[in-house]
Amino acid sequence: MIRAAIRGIIRIAHQYARIEEQPLRFDEHEEVTTREAHVIQGIGETDGMNITALANRFGITKSAASQMVSRLVKKGFVEKRQAFHSNKEFLLSLTERGRLVFQAHERLHGTELEELIDRMNSFSLSQIATLSVMLEVVGTAMDNRLSSSIPAKTVHFFPAER
Protein backbone atom coordinates (compact mmCIF):
# COMPACT_ATOMS: atom_id res chain seq x y z
CA MET A 1 0.00 0.00 0.00
CA ILE A 2 2.89 2.36 0.73
CA ARG A 3 4.36 1.79 -2.73
CA ALA A 4 0.94 2.44 -4.30
CA ALA A 5 0.66 5.68 -2.33
CA ILE A 6 4.14 6.74 -3.47
CA ARG A 7 3.20 5.96 -7.08
CA GLY A 8 0.09 8.13 -6.61
CA ILE A 9 2.19 11.01 -5.29
CA ILE A 10 4.61 10.69 -8.21
CA ARG A 11 1.70 10.67 -10.66
CA ILE A 12 0.31 13.84 -9.06
CA ALA A 13 3.77 15.46 -9.23
CA HIS A 14 3.96 14.68 -12.96
CA GLN A 15 0.47 16.07 -13.53
CA TYR A 16 1.41 19.22 -11.64
CA ALA A 17 4.53 19.64 -13.78
CA ARG A 18 2.34 19.43 -16.91
CA ILE A 19 -0.09 21.97 -15.46
CA GLU A 20 2.78 24.38 -14.73
CA GLU A 21 3.58 24.48 -18.46
CA GLN A 22 -0.01 25.01 -19.64
CA PRO A 23 -0.71 28.43 -21.12
CA LEU A 24 -3.26 30.69 -19.48
CA ARG A 25 -4.88 33.40 -21.57
CA PHE A 26 -5.49 36.49 -19.46
CA ASP A 27 -6.66 38.74 -22.28
CA GLU A 28 -7.34 38.45 -25.99
CA HIS A 29 -3.67 38.96 -26.91
CA GLU A 30 -1.50 37.56 -24.15
CA GLU A 31 -0.74 34.18 -22.58
CA VAL A 32 1.44 33.18 -19.67
CA THR A 33 2.33 29.72 -18.45
CA THR A 34 0.83 28.57 -15.17
CA ARG A 35 4.36 28.67 -13.71
CA GLU A 36 4.73 32.31 -14.76
CA ALA A 37 1.31 33.09 -13.27
CA HIS A 38 2.38 31.48 -9.98
CA VAL A 39 5.54 33.60 -9.86
CA ILE A 40 3.50 36.71 -10.68
CA GLN A 41 1.12 35.76 -7.88
CA GLY A 42 4.02 35.33 -5.44
CA ILE A 43 5.44 38.73 -6.31
CA GLY A 44 1.98 40.32 -6.13
CA GLU A 45 1.35 38.90 -2.67
CA THR A 46 4.69 40.19 -1.35
CA ASP A 47 5.45 43.43 -3.14
CA GLY A 48 9.12 44.32 -2.81
CA MET A 49 10.44 40.78 -2.39
CA ASN A 50 13.90 39.99 -3.73
CA ILE A 51 15.18 37.10 -5.86
CA THR A 52 16.32 35.10 -2.82
CA ALA A 53 12.89 35.35 -1.17
CA LEU A 54 11.23 34.36 -4.44
CA ALA A 55 13.53 31.33 -4.82
CA ASN A 56 12.83 30.27 -1.22
CA ARG A 57 9.09 30.65 -1.65
CA PHE A 58 9.01 28.32 -4.67
CA GLY A 59 11.79 25.95 -3.63
CA ILE A 60 13.93 26.75 -6.66
CA THR A 61 17.49 27.98 -7.09
CA LYS A 62 18.29 31.69 -7.15
CA SER A 63 19.48 31.21 -10.72
CA ALA A 64 16.12 29.74 -11.79
CA ALA A 65 14.26 32.54 -9.98
CA SER A 66 16.46 35.16 -11.64
CA GLN A 67 15.86 33.66 -15.09
CA MET A 68 12.10 33.62 -14.51
CA VAL A 69 12.13 37.23 -13.31
CA SER A 70 14.15 38.29 -16.36
CA ARG A 71 11.58 36.61 -18.61
CA LEU A 72 8.70 38.34 -16.80
CA VAL A 73 10.46 41.71 -16.92
CA LYS A 74 10.99 41.27 -20.67
CA LYS A 75 7.28 40.44 -21.10
CA GLY A 76 6.34 43.55 -19.14
CA PHE A 77 4.76 41.88 -16.08
CA VAL A 78 7.41 42.59 -13.44
CA GLU A 79 9.63 45.54 -12.52
CA LYS A 80 13.02 45.30 -10.82
CA ARG A 81 14.30 48.22 -8.82
CA GLN A 82 17.54 48.51 -6.92
CA ALA A 83 17.28 48.04 -3.17
CA PHE A 84 18.17 51.09 -1.10
CA HIS A 85 20.61 49.16 1.07
CA SER A 86 22.48 47.13 -1.59
CA ASN A 87 23.91 47.57 -5.07
CA LYS A 88 23.47 43.84 -5.75
CA GLU A 89 19.91 43.35 -4.54
CA PHE A 90 16.80 44.08 -6.57
CA LEU A 91 13.26 44.39 -5.28
CA LEU A 92 10.41 43.05 -7.39
CA SER A 93 6.96 44.47 -8.04
CA LEU A 94 4.21 43.98 -10.58
CA THR A 95 3.53 46.31 -13.47
CA GLU A 96 -0.05 47.18 -14.40
CA ARG A 97 -0.04 44.22 -16.83
CA GLY A 98 1.32 42.01 -14.07
CA ARG A 99 -1.52 43.07 -11.77
CA LEU A 100 -4.02 42.03 -14.47
CA VAL A 101 -2.49 38.55 -14.58
CA PHE A 102 -2.41 38.45 -10.77
CA GLN A 103 -6.12 39.28 -10.54
CA ALA A 104 -7.09 36.78 -13.25
CA HIS A 105 -5.04 34.07 -11.57
CA GLU A 106 -6.59 34.87 -8.18
CA ARG A 107 -10.07 34.37 -9.66
CA LEU A 108 -9.05 31.05 -11.22
CA HIS A 109 -7.46 29.79 -8.02
CA GLY A 110 -10.39 30.94 -5.93
CA THR A 111 -12.76 28.76 -7.93
CA GLU A 112 -10.44 25.74 -8.00
CA LEU A 113 -9.60 26.03 -4.31
CA GLU A 114 -13.25 26.22 -3.29
CA GLU A 115 -14.00 23.06 -5.31
CA LEU A 116 -11.11 21.23 -3.66
CA ILE A 117 -12.13 22.37 -0.17
CA ASP A 118 -15.73 21.26 -0.81
CA ARG A 119 -14.53 17.81 -1.84
CA MET A 120 -12.14 17.49 1.12
CA ASN A 121 -14.76 18.58 3.69
CA SER A 122 -15.97 14.99 3.77
CA PHE A 123 -12.68 13.85 5.35
CA SER A 124 -12.29 13.63 9.12
CA LEU A 125 -9.78 15.80 10.98
CA SER A 126 -7.64 12.73 11.66
CA GLN A 127 -7.55 11.91 7.93
CA ILE A 128 -6.49 15.47 7.12
CA ALA A 129 -3.85 15.32 9.89
CA THR A 130 -2.52 12.03 8.50
CA LEU A 131 -2.33 13.51 5.00
CA SER A 132 -0.45 16.54 6.36
CA VAL A 133 2.11 14.34 8.12
CA MET A 134 2.54 12.19 5.00
CA LEU A 135 3.08 15.25 2.81
CA GLU A 136 5.68 16.52 5.28
CA VAL A 137 7.55 13.20 5.01
CA VAL A 138 7.45 13.35 1.19
CA GLY A 139 8.54 17.00 1.22
CA THR A 140 11.49 16.21 3.50
CA ALA A 141 12.55 13.36 1.21
CA MET A 142 12.42 15.73 -1.78
CA ASP A 143 14.38 18.40 0.12
CA ASN A 144 17.03 15.79 0.94
CA ARG A 145 17.24 14.69 -2.68
CA LEU A 146 17.59 18.28 -3.91
CA SER A 147 20.27 19.15 -1.36
CA SER A 148 22.22 15.94 -1.94
CA SER A 149 25.88 16.55 -2.71
CA ILE A 150 25.96 13.65 -5.17
CA PRO A 151 25.95 15.05 -8.71
CA ALA A 152 23.47 13.37 -11.03
CA LYS A 153 26.21 12.30 -13.43
CA THR A 154 27.65 9.92 -10.80
CA VAL A 155 24.39 8.02 -10.45
CA HIS A 156 24.52 4.90 -12.60
CA PHE A 157 21.21 3.39 -13.65
CA PHE A 158 22.69 0.64 -15.81
CA PRO A 159 25.64 -1.62 -15.12
CA ALA A 160 28.84 -0.60 -16.87
CA GLU A 161 29.71 -2.61 -19.97
CA ARG A 162 32.61 -5.01 -19.59
Can you give the CATH number for the domain in which 84 is found? 1.10.10.10
Q: Which residue has the higher pLDDT, 137 or 153?
A: 137
Q: Does residue 25 sit within a domain?
A: yes
In angstroms, the CA 147 to CA 12 distance is 22
In a domain, 115, yes or no: no
Can you tell me the mean pLDDT for 1-12?
90
Does 148 fall in a domain? Answer: no
The 10s digit of each residue's pLDDT in 20-63 is 888 888 777 778 988 999 999 999 998 789 999 999 998 888 99
Contact 34, 22 (CB under 8 A): yes
Asked if residue 157 belongs to a domain, the reply is: no
3-state class of 23 per DSSP?
A: strand
Looking at the 3D structure of the chain, how many domains does it have? 1
Three-state SS at 112: helix
CB 20 within 8 A of CB 38: yes
Q: What range defines the domain where residue 26 resides?
A: 2-109
